[in-house]
Amino acid sequence: MRHAALPFLLAALAAPAAAQDSNTWSTMERGLYLFRLGDCAACHTIDEDRPMAGGLGLPTPFGTIYTPNLTPDEHSGIGDWTADDFHTAMTEGVRPGGERLYPAFPYTHFTHVTREDTEAIYAYLQSLEPVMNRVPDPEIPWPLSMRTAMRGWNLLFFDDEAGLEPAEGKPDEWHRGQYLAEGLAHCSACHSPRNLLGAEKDGPASYTGGVIEGWFAPSLRSTEGGEGIGDWSEDDLAKYLRYGRNGHTAAFGPMAEVVEKSTRWLSNADAAAIATYIKDLPYDAPDRVEMEEVSADDPVMQHGERIYATQCAACHGIDGEGVKNQFGRLAGSSLTQAENPLTVVRMVLEGARAVPSDKYPTPHAMPAFDWRLSDEDVAAVTTYVRNAFGNAAPAVSAETVAEIRE
Amino acid sequence: MTRILPEREVVVVGFGWTGAIVAEQLTDAGMDVLALERGYWTDTSTDYAVNNAQDEVRYRYRDELFEDLSRETLTFRNEVGQTALPMRMLGSFLPGTNVGGSITHWNGQAWRFLPSDFQARTHNTDRYGTGIFEEGMTVQDWGVTYDELEPHYDTFDKICGISGKAGNLGGEIQEGGNPFEGPRSSEYPNPPMRMVAAPLKFADAAQELGYNPFPGPSANMSQAYTNPLGVQLAPCSYCGFCEKYACGNYSKATALTTIVPALMRRENFTLKTGAMVLRVEKDRQNTRATGVTYIDTEGQEYFQPAQMVVLCTYITHNVNLLMQSGIGEIYDPRTGEGNVGRNYAYQAMSGASVFYDDFAVNPYVGAGALGQVIDDFNGDNFDHEGLGFIGGGYIAQWQTNGRPIESHPVPEGTPRFGAGWKRAVRDNYNHTIGVGAHGAVMSHRNNHFDLDPTYRDAYGRPLMRLTFDFRQNEVAMSAYLTDRVAEIARAMGGREVRVNPMTVPYDIAPYQTTHNTGGHIMGETPADSVTNKYNQSWDLPNLFLMGAGNFPQNPGYNPTGTVAALAYHSMKAVRDQYLANPGPLVQA
Amino acid sequence: MKYFPGSLGHFTRRGFLVGISSVAITAPLAAREYRGGIPWRPKEAVPPDAYDPDARFFDDGERAFVTAAVDRLIPADEYPSASELGVVDFIDAQLAGSYGRGEIYYMEGPFEDGLPTQGYQAQAPALLYRQAIADIRDGLARAGQPDFVDLPPEKQDMLLTALSEGEDELEHTDGRTFFETLWQNTLEGYFGDPVHGGNRNMEAWRMIGFPGARYDYRPYIDHGGEPLSFEPISVGGRMVQ
């Protein structure tokens, strides 16, 4: 019972931070803001001319499912849903009629969203142009196509009664951050590892990084360097969410799109709130060992240094210092030194673009080096950047590069 | 069948630097702007990244960033009366193509003209009398003054993040800058480039001789920079691949690195690539442009109606579009009638090489606008009494590159090829400093464009014909400048000096510079110009022409800064006056 | 377990991006419309067209002629000759491609020799080589001279010099244009990036001390006139072996 009461408590807690907004915004404007914060369009819009008409195929571990049409079309969309129906779908993962949704829809997060907020999103969605678009049925092999199977999954991994624990002594801003990050923003959907059934690991394993679309979404837990974004300040994180860049790096890969479509719309207060919450995530990994750097005398390091000097230094600097808000700093970078080298190798192979934003419109991009560098070259240069400039991280093998190159 | 498209408020033809400036200014004023570019999209990190940009064969000698002459070119002759023949390969000048235009492959030498340059006729007449002008010279005033352009030069400096040292701040002469320049309203946005050894040697010699050396104004970044549009540039890494190449690490100011990122985010801007504009259409009464006709890469022809048309192509194409569209009268040198194609001018280039035994130049540690300059012999910065010419040029040591196909200087007397040549290349590659004079070309009755009677382009249109040679004024001026170059070169402490005078008659094959000017010149009256001081056509007031085609003659500096300042000056008048009251901005 | 594959690297946030961007993605050369941002795609690059050893234009006689000629232009000394660095292979492959066909040049007639200031007025480069080499060989044969390749080096030099100075008229094309083109192509093959087939092992760059496709000399700006030394780098990377 204590849990069930929490959403209301949270709404009350959230109120001060949102006050400036709710005073001046209509329900519709709030709905649009929250809709963007939930990054709903990322999955439900595939054609900019027909927003939210759904139909995107998602290759999940369960098979391909198609995102539904959320326009107010009465036949193919949610034109006949009530605000109650929408709230139930958001927070319990159940459609009107009792059919269960696949957990590719992050209801495990949206369960935390308050009734007031789902209503605002509902109001915004109902204001869209109705689009007739019947999306295909899921292509999921028996027995999973029976959505009742989801019930079992939900039993294991989902508790719609679960709420967010208020923390003693944490300020309002922290609670607002928790509400946003755990709920609509669903940060851990990418930044947590998943179990074999595709469910996020929780507890101390949550937010320790995950693999998504072939990129490594780094740990968000605040360790002492080495992993994740431990070397970022709260302000660095807030800037990154708002503008796609900070003094350390820029958003690229899947996160570029999150910034482009979602977090750049955050109010300064909400960006700061999320940063406060995320930067306060505790870290507890007794088995973590101090990395020992690969020696500079290692022939691989020497080969890597030669490649670095001719291919990388023009932008990232001979000492890995980068150019602030333009080219990523490699020296001391936790992203560069992440235990999983997937992101570093992938960036070298196929390039990556910093998300342009209104504040930083320049679309700085790293070029693709796959045509130019061999697997051995890429292994050497990534090993080098992970172990030069005072960095230390496991060496990258040519085999690993070859696998990622596939 | 020509398809007719919905009308747009503004159509910009050609999406290089002036196209980007015009589109940025007019979208900022709330206008709906469509840019048509014949080439394709290019982007720093994909098309000329740090891992593929440095390829002499591909970019310099197989023309990857330059225009495709199989589509259209011009014919050339030195004199009226000769048979013009097509420019079959690029040589003397290298216009660009694709999104970003020619500026993508510039060096980045970013100058302002002198105040007196804009009054070349009245200033020289006042100081020296009409006798100073050679017979046949058609030098005239611009109709715009330095003071009017200054705020727009300033805007452009800040958009680009030009590196340099002011020599004249609001009339106060500044130590270390160019004491001859017109007054600036503010210091350069970035400090000068860090100098390598060669330009410092030049500066020492020039100083010794009593001249006033200063660091050349550079669009290569001396440090990281964010411009007023929020667009960012990175520090130059001195790779020595600027001119004829694109910059791979965002450290040379170009349309793509200063304006396009911000412009492309605007919802009232659209760019179409693969759209080759064939002509500007006008109404029957010959009072306004109605739009443009273009052809796409599939050969489909379109009519794009527009309320306002801005021509932003390379100057040869701007002039050609006027001729192909029947706008204005084509110049005839025999009668002096007509203004379209009149007053073509170029640049008078000469130089000297200083050869050393031990001093190592390490020429590849370079940048397009890394150098020291003297302006003592430019414009009217020196007394021309008795010299027999007007105008002048700057003298500079730019350390731009060590690209060996292009740059392998050898001393006088070296065999053309063979063992002796090979040894000389080896011995001198790292031990030669070049000093150059960058001279003005004044306009002349016989230097002009018209249409060729014989050759046609891929679209069936007659090729434009260029008639050009260096005239008496330029020959005398360049000889004088080259003597000054040689004097400084000999003071630079080398083993020997090789003087390379300007080649006369003008030869269209060897690369000289991509500073073609004139043909749709601006002026004070429709009697002697194609546009008014706001780049607005006298004939069709909703037609504007950007670029160096507006120059009545070509002063002794690189043209880009002035091309951009004229574009901003024009767009300010459009925003402040024309949009509210579309019509002539200057009454004829 | 069959239906719950463990490889969650394929778990997508919301699927792949193809076709979702507001910017249409088609071939870059086609007519396209761009709005609302700058397009970019991962893996997209425009690497150099690497040398293709199967792209050949010359017949055996032409190849022998060009080999002899370029080795007079840049003969062997302590450093390799032009042909030893692959210049003939470079020119052959170039002439077999778009350069040889003159695809980006204006190649419409009428063709006239014109004045020396009017630039290249010959047919496309491949045809220029073919016509000029045939004319020179025919001319030598008609004069009862040995073939070019069998001439003593000093005679070869005299002939090349005469061409360069426009003294020898050829029957079907312009001799000076041929010399200038051959000389230019020889310089390209000798000093160009090895990715195009010449300058093998970057020997020509080593000879003069050019470091090749390096991009950052900031640490060396203050060299003060002391010689620098670098191992050269090719723009082709692993394309050049």
Q: Which active-site residues of B does the annotation give?
A: 515
- C205 or A14: whose pLDDT is higher? C205
Query: And the tokens for B45?
Result: 């990190």
**Contact assessment for residue B452 and residue B219, using Cβ atoms and an 8 Å cutoff:** no
- A54 or A284: whose pLDDT is higher? A54
Domain annotation covers residue C150: yes
Would you state the pLDDT for residue A138?
Answer: 77
Enclosing H/E stretch for B77: strand B74-77
In chain A, residues with a C-beta closer than 8 Å to the C-beta of B252 are none
What's the domain count of chain C? 1
C-alpha distances out from residue B245 to A62, B223, B313, Å? 50, 21, 19
Q: CB neighbours of B524 closer than 8 A, spacing ≥ 6?
A: B141, B143, B533
DSSP code of B506? -
Interface contact flag, B45 A325, Cβ < 8 Å = no
Residue A155 has pLDDT above 90, yes or no: no
In chain A, residues with a C-beta closer than 8 Å to the C-beta of B226 are 325
Residue B512 has pLDDT above 70, yes or no: yes
What's the rounded Cα separation, in Å, for the pair B464 and B264? Answer: 33
- A51 or B221: whose pLDDT is higher? B221
Mean pLDDT of B33-49: 94
* B114-155 per-position pLDDT tens digit: 999 999 999 999 999 999 998 999 999 999 999 999 999 999
- Average pLDDT across chain B, whole number: 97
Mean pLDDT of B2-12: 97
Query: How many separate helices (H) and strands (E) can be counted in chain B?
Result: 11, 22
Would you state the pLDDT for residue C241?
Answer: 64
* A183-196 per-position pLDDT tens digit: 999 998 889 888 77
Identify residues of C whose CB sits under 8 angstroms from chain A CBs.
Answer: 1, 3-6, 8-17, 19-20, 22, 37-38, 40, 42-45, 47, 213-216, 218-219, 231, 233, 236-239
Distance between B552 CA and the closest CA of chain A, angstroms: 36
In chain C, residues with a C-beta closer than 8 Å to the C-beta of B63 are 104
Would you state the pLDDT for residue A201?
Answer: 82
* A367-391 per-position pLDDT tens digit: 999 999 999 999 999 999 999 999 9
What's the rounded Cα separation, in Å, for the pair B55 and C213? Answer: 7
Q: Omega before A143 cis (within 30°)? A: yes
B175: confidence class by pLDDT, cuts 50, 70, 90? very high
B481: confidence class by pLDDT, cuts 50, 70, 90? very high
- Nearest to residue A36, comparing CAs of A47, A44, A24? A44
Distance between A373 CA and the closest CA of chain B, angstroms: 10
Strands B225-226 and B168-169: unpaired
* B261-289 per-position pLDDT tens digit: 999 999 999 999 999 999 999 999 999 99
In chain C, residues with a C-beta closer than 8 Å to the C-beta of B62 are 99, 104
What's the rounded Cα separation, in Å, for the pair B60 and C235? Answer: 14
Would you state the pLDDT for residue A13?
Answer: 41
- Nearest to residue B520, comparing CAs of B538, B505, B497? B538
**Contact assessment for residue B353 and residue B381, using Cβ atoms and an 8 Å cutoff:** no
Q: CB neighbours of A297 closer than 8 A, spacing ≥ 6?
A: none
Distance between C10 CA and the closest CA of chain B, angstroms: 27
Query: B79 touching C, CB under 8 A?
Result: no
What's the rounded Cα separation, in Å, for the pair A405 and B395? Answer: 52
Task: Select the residue of A361, A369, A372 nearest B262 (Cβ to Cβ).
Answer: A361
Query: And the tokens for A128?
Result: 């869209």
Interface contact flag, B422 C99, Cβ < 8 Å = no
Task: Select the residue of A326, A361, A367 nearest B261 (Cβ to Cβ).
Answer: A361
Would you state the pLDDT for residue C17?
Answer: 26
What's the rounded Cα separation, in Å, for the pair C84 and C105? Answer: 30
Concatenating the DSSP letter of every residue in B286-297 gives SSSEEEEEEE-T
What's the rounded Cα separation, in Å, for the pair C57 and B183? Answer: 60
**Can you list the residues of chain C whose pLDDT is less than 50?**
1-28
What's the rounded Cα separation, in Å, for the pair B561 and B111? Answer: 5
Q: In chain A, what are the domains?
A: 2-157 (no CATH), 299-405 (1.10.760.10)
Query: What number of C-beta contacts closer than 8 Å exist between A and B?
Result: 64
Contacts 24+ apart (CB under 8 A), B169-176: B176/B214, B176/B215
In chain B, residues with a C-beta closer than 8 Å to the C-beta of A365 are 43-46
Distance between A332 CA and the closest CA of chain C, angstroms: 21
Would you state the pLDDT for residue C15?
Answer: 28
Which residue stretches of B295-346 are H helix?
315-325
In chain C, residues with a C-beta closer than 8 Å to the C-beta of A351 are 42-45
Identify residues of A whose CB sits under 8 angstroms from chain B CBs.
Answer: 311, 313-315, 323-327, 351, 353, 356, 358-367, 369, 372
Tell me which chain A residue has its CA closest to the CA of residue B266.
A358
Neighbours of chain A (3+ CB pairs under 8 A): B, C
Domain annotation covers residue C215: no
What's the rounded Cα separation, in Å, for the pair B518 and B551? Answer: 5
Q: Percent of chain B having pLDDT more than 70?
A: 100
Mean pLDDT of A33-39: 94
Tell me phi and psi for residue A100, to 5 degrees: -90, 145
Interface contact flag, A314 B49, Cβ < 8 Å = no
Q: CB neighbours of A70 closer than 8 A, spacing ≥ 6?
A: A40, A44, A52, A53, A54, A77, A78, A125, A128
Please give the sequence-ordered ranges of beta strands (E in DSSP) within A10-161, or none if there are none: 57-60, 63-66
C-alpha distances out from residue A28 to A130, A267, A268, B471, C223, Å? 16, 16, 20, 72, 64
- Distance of alpha carbon A256 from its chain centroid, rounded? 10
Would you state the pLDDT for residue B253?
Answer: 98
**Contact assessment for residue B180 and residue B380, using Cβ atoms and an 8 Å cutoff:** no
Would you state the pLDDT for residue B67?
Answer: 96
Distance between B177 CA and the closest CA of chain A, angstroms: 29
Domain annotation covers residue C24: no
Would you state the pLDDT for residue A337?
Answer: 87
Q: CB neighbours of C54 closer than 8 A, spacing ≥ 6?
A: none
Domain annotation covers residue C25: no
- Half-sphere exposure of residue B367, counting CA atoms within 13 Å on the CB side? 34
Residue B60 has pLDDT above 80, yes or no: yes
* A282-341 per-position pLDDT tens digit: 876 545 556 778 888 999 999 999 999 999 999 999 999 999 999 999 998 888 988 889
Instruction: Name which of C21, C23, C34 to mutate to probe chain B: the one with the most chain B Cβ atoms within 10 A of its Cβ.
Output: C34
Q: CB neighbours of A146 closer than 8 A, spacing ≥ 6?
A: none
What's the rounded Cα separation, in Å, for the pair A10 and B238? Answer: 57
Query: And the tokens for A2?
Result: 């204590």
* Tally of residues, chain C: 241
Q: What angle do CA A304, A310, A312 make, to 5 degrees?
A: 75
- Average pLDDT across chain A, whole number: 85
Interface contact flag, A214 C16, Cβ < 8 Å = no
Query: And the tokens for B82?
Result: 């000769």
- B55 or A231: whose pLDDT is higher? B55
Burial of C152 by CB count in 10 Å (0-12 exposed, 13-18 middle, 19+ buried)?
Answer: exposed
Would you state the pLDDT for residue C9?
Answer: 31
Identify residues of B whose CB sits under 8 angstroms from chain A CBs.
Answer: 43-46, 49-52, 224, 226, 229-232, 234-235, 237, 239, 248-250, 257, 261-262, 265
Would you state the pLDDT for residue A285?
Answer: 57
- Nearest to residue B55, comparing CAs of C199, C99, C16? C199
Strands B269-273 and B33-36: parallel
Domain annotation covers residue C99: yes
For the ranges A156-170, B174-188, B371-385, which has the lowest average pLDDT?
A156-170
- The CATH number given to B1-52+95-163+218-232+253-345+443-459+514-588 is 3.50.50.60
What ranges do the domains of chain B cover? Answer: 1-52+95-163+218-232+253-345+443-459+514-588
What's the rounded Cα separation, in Å, for the pair C162 and B309? Answer: 54
* B290-303 per-position pLDDT tens digit: 999 999 999 999 99
What's the rounded Cα separation, in Å, for the pair A175 and A181? Answer: 10
What's the rounded Cα separation, in Å, for the pair B385 and B7? Answer: 57
Would you state the pLDDT for residue A289?
Answer: 59
Enclosing H/E stretch for B311: strand B301-311
- B447 or A150: whose pLDDT is higher? B447
* A102-150 per-position pLDDT tens digit: 877 888 899 999 999 999 999 999 999 999 999 888 777 665 554 656 6
For the ranges A158-167, B74-83, B511-520, C216-225, which has the lowest average pLDDT?
A158-167
* B328-365 per-position pLDDT tens digit: 999 999 999 999 999 999 999 999 999 999 999 999 99
Q: Percent of chain A having pLDDT more than 70?
A: 85
C-alpha distances out from residue B359 to A224, B371, C228, Å? 51, 18, 11
- Please state the ipTM of this predicted complex: 0.96
Residue B55 has pLDDT above 50, yes or no: yes
Contacts 24+ apart (CB under 8 A), C184-188: C184/B61, C185/C87, C185/C90, C185/C91, C185/C94, C185/C125, C186/C70, C186/C73, C186/C74, C186/C82, C186/C87, C186/C91, C187/B405, C187/B408, C188/B56, C188/B57, C188/B61, C188/B405, C188/C90, C188/C94
What's the rounded Cα separation, in Å, for the pair A338 and A191? Answer: 13
DSSP code of B117? G
What's the rounded Cα separation, in Å, for the pair B22 and B19? Answer: 5
Domain extent at residue C171: 60-208
Interface contact flag, B456 C204, Cβ < 8 Å = no
SS3 annotation, A269-290: HHHHHHHHHHCCCCCCCCCCCC
Query: How many separate helices (H) and strands (E) can be counted in chain A?
Result: 17, 6
Residue C21: helix, strand or coil by DSSP? Answer: coil
Contacts 24+ apart (CB under 8 A), B357-360: B357/B431, B357/B495, B358/B431, B359/B197, B359/B201, B359/B431, B359/B493, B359/B494, B359/C225, B360/B197, B360/B430, B360/B431, B360/C223, B360/C225, B360/C226, B360/C227, B360/C228
Would you state the pLDDT for residue A19?
Answer: 42
* B100-119 per-position pLDDT tens digit: 999 999 999 999 999 999 99
Interface contact flag, A315 B234, Cβ < 8 Å = yes
Domain annotation covers residue C217: no
A350: confidence class by pLDDT, cuts 50, 70, 90? very high
Q: Which residue has the tokens 């390096």?
A: C214
